[in-house]
């Protein structure tokens, strides 16, 4: 059965590339992916595959039923782009100013569409049901996964699999790990309200800049002094804005940052510590403040059984020369919401291009397109073999 699937995917590779490049040329950023959603729907219309549109927003969910009883297994690909101006000199460069598929979601969609087509063509020989989840808005919290789950895309699903084409991993390598794989991604915003005044008369002011500088110093001590060193956390101040003249003491300062953790306990500790530091520092400085902590995606935590299963099957996929356990990453991914509901695994498919491998979210990001075929075969083998697990 798998050999038949692999042959179908090999024969569809050029179509896969064509879809990917079309989507790359017509990117739509998070929550604005209406034309991309229509493109996906038209693909299934032409196949005669039933689907539900506008799931949790712009999401599309197709269902392929085999003729034999079996498990219901879901596959997911995201399809939103980023607000980035592309700098690649390629024939399929983005035609939309300020928007670019700089994370591989165009490849994810092309991969899953062709895999769905192959499964549909084999449906008379398949057991179970296959739920094909095309998700919008992965790049921007609150994301598309949560509302899609709330809309019922996982109803009746026994397990879910997903992959990310990864430009920093060598081509032919599948990376995975049991347990925490990607971090929660939270955001915080702080506004300090002091009292501005003349730069030569500090005694009449409450300097928001110096207060902000103290906050940054104290906040950077949270990870080293308040978090168990065996556990992981990142606290980053990404912006600090105050004042607009060299001889004026700023009365207001604004800063924002991100927190990345793998455990709910550490997540709670970091949030509480930031607020405690802000409150105490501003009390000592006799100024007021506002503090907002915006929880983003929870951590991606792979299920042990499914991660071991994926590790084993990946070794026998044509084109795969290494199936490795990777270190956890501090980047976020809303695939976490699916894994909170059903067993499953999220993994990386090595897609490092020849030449310079620019990182994800870079204006010159690209990936090796043959990796889409490896991703499709790995996902396809996973859903077929999981029926017998």
Q: Kindly list the catalytic residues.
A: 80, 138
Q: Is 274 exposed, middle or buried (0-12, 13-18, 19+ CB in 10 A)?
A: buried
C-alpha closest to that of 129 among 120, 121, 142, 117: 120
Question: Do 90 and 17 contact (CB within 8 A), yes or no?
Answer: no
Nearest to 309 by CA among 83, 1, 73: 73
Alpha carbon distance 304, 196 (integer Å)? 56
The length of the chain in residues reads 389
Query: Are 242 and 253 a contacting pair, CB within 8 Å?
Result: yes
String of b and e for 181-219 (b: at least 16 CB within 10 Å)? Answer: bbbbbbebebbbbbebbeeeeeeebbbbbbbbebbeebb
CB atoms within 10 A of CB 310: 27
Residue 60 · residue 52 · CB < 8 Å: yes
Q: Write the DSSP assignment of 22-44 as a string of letters.
A: HHHHS--BTT--HHHHHHHHHHH
**95: exposed, middle or buried (Cβ count in 10 Å: 0-12, 13-18, 19+):** exposed
CB 171 within 8 A of CB 350: yes
Q: How far apart are CA 160 and CA 383, in angstroms?
A: 9
Q: Name residue, tokens 């915003």.
A: 189
Alpha helices in 48-177 (DSSP H): 105-121, 145-150
Q: What residues pair up with 179 in beta bridges, in sequence order?
A: 302
Strand order in the sheet with 173-176: 51-55, 59-65, 127-135, 68-78, 159-166, 344-350, 173-176, 322-325
């Amino acid at each position: 059965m798998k050999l038949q699937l692999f042959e179908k995917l090999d024969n569809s590779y050029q179509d896969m590339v064509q879809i990917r490049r079309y989507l790359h040329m017509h990117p739509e950023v998070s929550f604005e992916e209406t034309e991309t959603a229509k493109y996906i729907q038209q693909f299934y219309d032409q196949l005669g595959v039933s689907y539900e549109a506008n799931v949790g927003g712009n999401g599309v969910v197709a269902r392929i039923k085999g003729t034999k009883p079996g498990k219901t297994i879901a596959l997911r690909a995201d399809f939103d782009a980023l607000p980035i101006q592309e700098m690649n000199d390629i024939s399929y460069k983005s035609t939309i100013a300020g928007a670019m598929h700089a994370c591989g979601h165009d490849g994810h969609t092309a991969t899953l569409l062709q895999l769905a087509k192959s499964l549909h063509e084999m449906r008379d020989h398949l057991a179970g049901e296959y739920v094909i989840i095309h998700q919008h808005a992965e790049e921007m919290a609150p994301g598309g996964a949560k509302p899609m789950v709330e809309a019922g895309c996982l109803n009746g699903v026994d397990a879910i699999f997903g992959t990310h084409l990864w430009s920093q991993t060598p081509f032919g390598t599948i990376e995975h790990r049991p347990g925490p794989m990607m971090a929660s991604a939270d955001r915080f915003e702080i506004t300090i309200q002091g009292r501005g005044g003349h730069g030569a008369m500090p005694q009449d002011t409450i300097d928001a800049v110096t207060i902000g500088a103290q906050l940054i110093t104290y906040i950077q001590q949270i990870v080293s002094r308040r978090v168990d060193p065996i556990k992981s956390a990142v606290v980053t101040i990404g912006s600090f804005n105050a004042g607009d003249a060299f001889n004026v003491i700023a009365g207001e300062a604004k800063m924002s940052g991100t927190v990345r953790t793998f455990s709910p306990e550490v997540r709670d500790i970091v949030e509480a510590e930031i607020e405690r530091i802000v409150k105490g520092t501003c009390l000592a400085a006799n100024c007021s403040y506002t503090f907002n902590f915006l929880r983003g995606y929870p951590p991606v935590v792979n299920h042990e059984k499914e991660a071991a299963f994926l590790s084993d099957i990946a070794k026998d996929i044509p084109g795969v020369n290494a199936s490795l356990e990777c270190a956890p990453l501090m980047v976020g991914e809303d695939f976490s919401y699916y894994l909170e509901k059903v067993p499953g695994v999220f993994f990386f498919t090595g897609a490092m291009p020849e030449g310079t491998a620019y990182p994800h979210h870079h204006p010159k990001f690209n990936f090796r397109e043959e990796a889409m075929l490896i991703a499709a075969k790995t996902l396809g083998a996973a859903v077929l073999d999981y029926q017998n697990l």
